[in-house]
Amino acid sequence: MEIAAPMEGDAQELFNIVDENRAYLRKWLPWLDDVKSVDDELSLIRSLSEKKSDEFTLYIIRQFGNLVGVISLNWVDWSNRSFGLGYWLSQSSSGHGIMTKACSRLMDHCFDDLKLHRSVIEAAVENYPSRAVAERLGMRIEGISKDREWLYDHFTDSSLYAITAPEWKSRNHG
Query: What order do you get walking across the sheet with 118-124 strand by strand?
Result: 2-4, 57-63, 66-77, 82-89, 118-124, 154-164, 140-151
Q: How confident is the model at residue 172 (pLDDT cuts 50, 70, 90)?
A: low
Is the confidence at residue 27, as pLDDT, over 90? yes
Residues 134 and 128 sit within 8 Å (Cβ to Cβ)? no
**What is residue 50's predicted lDDT score, i.e. its pLDDT?**
79
Euclidean distance between CA atoms 160 and 174, whole angstroms: 25
pTM score of the predicted model: 0.93
Q: What percent of the chain has pLDDT over 70?
A: 96
**What is residue 4's predicted lDDT score, i.e. its pLDDT?**
95
Regarding beta strands 82-89 and 118-124, do their DSSP bridges make them parallel or antiparallel, or are they unpaired? parallel
Residues, the chain: 174
Q: Over the stretch 9-25, which tens digit does the pLDDT of each residue have?
A: 999 999 999 999 999 99
Euclidean distance between CA atoms 119 and 110, whole angstroms: 9
How much is the average pLDDT of 51-72? 87
Is the confidence at residue 80, as pLDDT, over 90? yes
Residues 13 and 70 sit within 8 Å (Cβ to Cβ)? no
Domain 2-173 coded CATH 3.40.630.30: yes
